[in-house]
Chains A and B, each alone.
Chain A
């Protein structure tokens, strides 16, 4: 075959070839009628490896977590109808957190579309509100371009999931087409911003240098744009405090003195106080989500707000920005650092020292504390702290949704970006285990912990089987409180402890369950055995260990913002509030 006579491939083969050519190693999926031609094409090659999950939702979370850990789009392949609808929760999860993902959904034959054919669902319609873009392939020869564009759209600008719906006849093995991987994917209607407005960046730098009580509030955008180095450098140059959102943890080192913790609903006392009392807030790749701002009408009344975001629609959506900067975090921060370094005016050191004195007082008063003496049982917070110590703070931690998620966010101090992997925007229970699998598969040498609860883990527990098949040695840290703890907490606080359906009756024996799938199970019931048993669990390097930790069921997550209050209106324990 010479360079200028393209190879003849079927639609199914072109699809897999194009995915391989983009540099994708793994496709996560589940077969079915509409994608059988594609599965046959997978069977005939060895460039792309397929990971067979036990439920399509897990395939989406695996791909999603790979993307969160690397910044590259994960790829999912599912069949039409139920395969596609099973993927919906995972697509929405990725969409809410701006995670790049390419989801190939099979579709019934073109001539059957619209006839309520077997396993037909309008995936274009269903996915429209939860994707960055979707497309339906109408001609087999368009497949390479569709794939190339899907990756381009998913990974550029503000990232997000892209669905490519492919009718079965587009992938027929006997119809061959000349295959060329498109070099140029540019589109006249899609041009993400490459650079911020220099005038605005200068204005922002000036405001920061004139600040007396500045803070940097950084979110997931910093992680997705690989800008944490720049963020850290700017923060060091300015000497100001930094807070991260739930999505931004790790963007700034969690053990650094300048770090005041996570902000928002379950943010630290000092982070929420620092925000509320700041005079200049530099928001980077964060979106003033309602779980951060609390009541927007009372939000940070004295602050000049500088907002850097790649997505213009995120700016002034909920909170008006005084100095908006539309652009990629990395390039804007780089430019800003340069301006700050060159600037003749410097930040007022005396004012800054006073500001730090105030912040340290807040830290002293309520910084990251929980009581160990009010229960015989293990406290979930202490379990996270122990896991942090034993993994030297360097593990990838995925989480499910609930109290355990907040405890992990508060007590596992991430010093690196891309290591904290959780469903922030959608809050998807069932995310944790498949996410851990996606990370472990791609980073087999790394320690990967899934922090979960007995409620959440049961939403995708079937994936223990996938873990056996692929030898995925993740560590499942089940903070078993016997309740849908976060629901219970709200019922304690707002419904006079009427536990309507928040009790997890008839839990399985998780140890026996893990063993049934060929894994190791370890149960921890007493504080005395915590360190030793955790160490044992981590000593099984390549094995999946299900660590079932029985923790205090009465524990609440604090601080917790008072509903409709300002950022700094918080409950600090069951008996104290600000």
Chain B
């Protein structure tokens, strides 16, 4: 099952390497990963998505918790949560497809953020699934480049991952 795991950790050199090293060493897979400092500059928030059986996920969260620089870990998928990812996609947009690309972007509430006579660069935000669906839909045109930020997530309601 796909899981979104959120990690609050010290914003220190090497902390990220410890997290990714752990995954590599223990043979867990990382589907996506995003990390940046929080409002408190001494802390970083890392979100990663992974796929695994419950037993493996349990080990992953326990092993993450063991890392000395990790403050807290939660599996967001265990409760109600919101997931977002941002994507920028550059497509060849000439002739008849130019209009078609724009219409498809509109349907997905994408924004065209850069234009040349022969290309469009579209920005899209949403769940990972939505971004993937958009890539499929836009395949009417030639896709030149795709950049995805990786998923980030937050729990709904009162629940927080903070100090």
Contacts and interface: CB of A to CB of B under 8 A. Distances in A.
Interface of A: 124-125, 128-129, 132-134, 136, 153, 187-190, 311-313, 316-317
A187 B68 contact: yes
Contacts of B14: 124, 128, 134, 136
Interface of B: 9-10, 13-14, 17-18, 21, 25, 55, 58-59, 62-63, 65-66, 68-71, 163
Nearest to A188: B71
Given A132-B68, A153-B68, A189-B70, A313 B21 contact: no
Closest 3 pairs (CB-CB, A-B): A313-B62, A133-B68, A189-B71
A312 B71 contact: no
Contacts of A128: 14, 17-18, 21
A458 B10 CA distance: 45
Contact of A312 (B9, B17, B21, B65): B65
B66 A189 contact: no
Main secondary structure on chain B at its contact with chain A?
A: helix
B75 to A, nearest CB: 14
26 contacts: A124-B14, A128-B14, A128-B17, A128-B18, A128-B21, A129-B21, A129-B25, A132-B68, A133-B68, A134-B14, A136-B14, A153-B68, A187-B68, A188-B163, A189-B9, A189-B10, A189-B68, A190-B68, A311-B66, A312-B65, A313-B59, A313-B62, A313-B63, A313-B65, A313-B66, A316-B55
Contacts of B59: 313, 317
Contacts, number: 35
Contacts of B21: 128-129
Nearest to A313: B62
A175 to B, nearest CB: 22
B162 to A, nearest CB: 12
Nearest to A312: B62
A188 B90 CA distance: 44
A121 to B, nearest CB: 16
A360 B142 CA distance: 78
Contacts of B58: 316
A91 to B, nearest CB: 15
B140 to A, nearest CB: 46
B25 A189 contact: no
A100 to B, nearest CB: 14
Contacts of B18: 128
B15 to A, nearest CB: 9
B63 A189 contact: no
B148 to A, nearest CB: 28
A313 B14 CA distance: 22
A187 B59 CA distance: 23
| Most B CB within 10 A of own CB, among A129, A153, A189, A311 | A189
Nearest to A157: B66
Nearest to B17: A128
Nearest to B12: A135
Nearest to B21: A128
Given A128-B21, A129-B25, 11 more contacts: A125-B17, A128-B18, A133-B68, A189-B9, A189-B70, A189-B71, A311-B66, A313-B65, A313-B66, A316-B55, A316-B58
